[in-house]
């Protein structure tokens, strides 16, 4: 039987980890397992997690040397069972009490490759329900060519994502995990598309995304940060394409099949140019690749 597993990555979330775990363990539909990977926290968060472990047998805690958030996903890949759906949660975020139940109902199936919902941002008072509106789920067709050509970012931050373990284990372990300019959610979002995963967008649902001073959304990035990130993305694209025998750049036909399937809303949301402009850009890219 398929399991629904919550995977929490934690590092020094002493202020928030109790609320995080409470939100997971008090769902209207229970998770089958909660996996927590702690990246060598130096505050009191590990003590808090261990207290929960003594009370709840479904929690599986793994502690490891400090290597960054990315490394916790590599560790998770070695212990997660097959035939499961993974719901990700950062140690400073929370799930509204009906998140799992509402997600399963919105998706309408018990197995899927990749799903993502929205964020409900909060400072002190978390959202009471995961349901934010009545908009139905959107089912994407293939998005591999869109990503390989235009780096289309089709997803949301870590706590909004859920993946099948089959897809997760195709992405992780990833060898270049120590690159600080590139994050695990970016890798999952890009790699899932490259590998042909069928993505599902849940616009009617949102997790509780905590705003605080340590969030990356508040960081100001230098030009050097941007350059490092672009290099890390290029490295990841090349690595997955080579490993799985996928052409690094798609054909014009492949791209426009996916472009047309998006529809006008997602073409605009992904900031894609008109077909005429895209055709010219793709031709220039094809010529550049020939003479590279």
CA 209 to chain CA centroid, Å, is: 14
Q: What confidence score (pLDDT) does residue 260 get? A: 93
Q: Which of 76, 81, 120, 85 is nearest to 103 (CA)?
A: 85
Three-state SS sequence of 136-180: CCEECCCCHHHHHHHCCCCCCCHHHEEEEHHHHHHHCCCCCCCCC
Q: Answer yes or no: do 175 and 266 share one domain.
A: no
- Give the per-residue pLDDT at 276: 65
**b/e 141-153 (16+ beta carbons within 10 angstroms → b):** ebbbbbbbbbebe
- Work out how many domains the chain is built from and give that number: 2
**pLDDT tens-digit readout, 151-184:** 999 999 999 999 999 999 999 999 998 877 788 9
Are 98 and 27 in contact, with CB atoms under 8 Å apart?
yes
Statement to judge: residues 20 and 110 lie in one domain = yes
What is the residue range of 17's domain? 3-238
Residue 148: per-residue pLDDT = 97
What residues of the chain score a pLDDT lower than 70? Answer: 213-219, 276, 279, 282, 286, 289-292
pLDDT of residue 219: 64
The answer to whether position 246 is within a domain reads: no
| 89 plus 206 within the same structural domain | yes
pTM for this one?
0.92
């Amino acid at each position: 039987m398929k399991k629904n597993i919550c995977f929490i990555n934690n590092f020094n979330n002493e202020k928030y980890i109790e609320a995080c775990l409470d939100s997971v363990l008090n769902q209207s539909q229970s998770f089958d397992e909660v996996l927590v990977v702690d990246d060598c926290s130096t505050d009191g968060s590990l003590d808090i997690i261990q207290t929960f472990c003594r009370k709840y047998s479904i929690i599986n805690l793994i502690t490891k040397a400090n290597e960054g958030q990315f490394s916790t996903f590599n560790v998770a890949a070695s212990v997660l069972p097959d035939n499961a759906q993974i719901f990700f949660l950062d140690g400073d975020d929370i799930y509204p009490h009906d998140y799992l139940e509402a997600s399963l109902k919105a998706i309408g199936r018990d197995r899927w490759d990749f799903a993502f919902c929205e964020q409900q941002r909060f400072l002190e008072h978390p959202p009471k329900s995961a349901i934010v509106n009545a908009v139905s789920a959107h089912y994407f067709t293939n998005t591999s060519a869109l990503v390989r050509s235009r780096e289309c970012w089709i997803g949301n931050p870590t706590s909004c994502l859920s993946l099948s373990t089959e897809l997760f284990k195709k992405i992780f372990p990833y060898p270049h995990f120590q690159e600080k300019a590139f994050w695990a959610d970016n890798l999952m979002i890009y790699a899932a598309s490259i590998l042909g995963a069928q993505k599902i967008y849940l616009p009617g649902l949102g997790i509780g995304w905590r705003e605080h001073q340590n969030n990356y959304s508040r960081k100001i990035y230098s030009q050097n940060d941007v350059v490092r990130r672009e290099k890390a993305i290029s490295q990841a694209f090349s690595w997955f394409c080579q490993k799985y025998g996928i052409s690094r750049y798609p054909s014009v036909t492949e791209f426009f099949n996916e472009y047309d399937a998006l529809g006008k809303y997602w073409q605009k949301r992904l900031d894609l140019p008109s077909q005429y402009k895209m055709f010219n850009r793709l031709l220039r890219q094809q010529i550049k690749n020939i003479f590279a």
